[in-house]
Amino acid sequence: MAKTDKQLHIAMFPWLAMGHIFPNFELAKLFAQKGHSITLISTPRNISRLPQIPTHLEQLIKLVSLPILPKHKANLPENAESTMDVTPNKVPYLKMAYDGLQESLTQLLKSSAPDWILYDFAADWLPPLVHSLQIRCVFFVVSPAWNLCFFDTPKPQLGSAAVFRTKPEDYLRPPSWVPFHSNIGLKLHEVKKMFEGVSDKETGVTVSFNFNKAVSSCDLFSFRSCYELESEWLNLVEDIYKRPVVPVGVIPPSFQVRIVNEEDNKPEWLKIQSWLDKQEQGSVVYIAFGSELKLGQQDLTELALGLELSGLPFFWALRKQQDSSSVDLPDGFEDRVSDRGVVCRDWVPQLKILAHGSIGGYLTHCGSGSVIEGLHFGRVLVMLPYLLDQALYARVLEEKKLGVEIPRNEQDGSFTRSSVAKSVKLAIVDEGGSIYRDKAKEMGLVFSDKDRHEQYIENFLQHLQHKREPFQI
């Protein structure tokens, strides 16, 4: 990539979740390739989880570890520094640990004096802090803009036009400030979960994230997104918050160093490749749910029996779940489907699998990275979301005919093997699903267009350079 004309020093301070830290790390490498200096800040264990920095970028990327204060470790499991290390009821303590990094972060920023800092939704205290140090800040979101538009009630920005949502029913449809047609909204079982909040039932400690406080003082919005996916939502953010919105593109797999053919000759991949080569083009369902999702026994059973009922070939990357030793596949399932299905409990090269021509669709929880990887290769999505942002991803992508969501019971969120089988077949083989397959291939051409997304990065950096002068208090 060509270097932009002025070198910037950009700091990054993502939320304590690897699904947030990894995209920042990938973005850091892209910025460094343009000749800019990057400081990525997190806790020691999270920094140790990052891949090795490419040799030619080592001088430009600095990884800084800020230890969690001892007083914030008492209620966390040993060595817990990320959402992947804790159960949902412990997230309040992780938020306290994150907030507790404020003093050490302040000292670091004073000594390093970056031009800009990219911060996350959980750091609502950061904008006034960095502005006092004459540092500009970017509210960087690793998911699409529709999440912010839906979950934040922009009362300070819209005044009386921002109607507060107080009842569960208010979240079943788009908020009043969305001026265009959309089917975005939560299901009743998801709203119930949202109203319950994240809390430690033993101590009663709860956590809340003040989106509006986090965004109201930023100098710039950026999203891991693109106008081809959600121009209406990106424009709405700019209209509501009266701040520039400059997306960085989707940071496609083609930008990521780890896609290099380093796994080509590994025995694990050669075995998988051999099996995929024997399948018909576009016939295989690939199933994966990321590194953090833990399926309960009922969901795991219905999902497995639904795949069996579908009659389609499948490859299931089923990670071993910590603290879930009693959760397992139905008795005899693997024997019954051995002629057409693979269940792999070890790490798999997901990008190489998705790139294989035999893959017809991707059954996913709709994590942002997973969606981008699936659509990058033009794979139609079969969607089974669990978290609230994943749910909105599923609603919008189904509206755009890029995927099929597995229906759930409105009250409790349960689903059946029959609904799994019908959804998979519709997405991958049924004639009625051809529009989904065609739309996914069309979006694949956008997501895999390296030049297009390189231009997003270039535009973002040019904007930072234009606004490089110190912030005026």
- DSSP, collapsed to helix, strand or coil, labels residue 433 as helix
**Burial status of residue 272 (CB atoms within 10 A of its CB: 0-12, 13-18, 19 or more):** buried
Q: Helix H segments across 49-153?
A: 91-99, 102-112, 126-132, 145-151
State how far the Cα of 311 lies from the Cα of 433, in Å rounded to an integer: 17
- DSSP, collapsed to helix, strand or coil, labels residue 404 as strand
| 331 assigned to active site | no
Q: Are 365 and 390 in contact (CB under 8 A)?
A: yes
Of 382, 434, 424, 389, the C-alpha closest to 405 is 382
Q: Are 95 and 122 in contact (CB under 8 A)?
A: yes
Q: Are 126 and 13 in contact (CB under 8 A)?
A: yes
State how far the Cα of 334 lies from the Cα of 314, in Å rounded to an integer: 12
Q: Are 447 and 370 in contact (CB under 8 A)?
A: no
**Burial status of residue 108 (CB atoms within 10 A of its CB: 0-12, 13-18, 19 or more):** middle
| 20 assigned to active site | yes
Residue 123 phi/psi, 5-degree rounding, is -100, 65
Of the candidates 85, 115, 120, 449, the residue annotated as catalytic is: 120
Q: Which residues are catalytic?
A: 20, 120
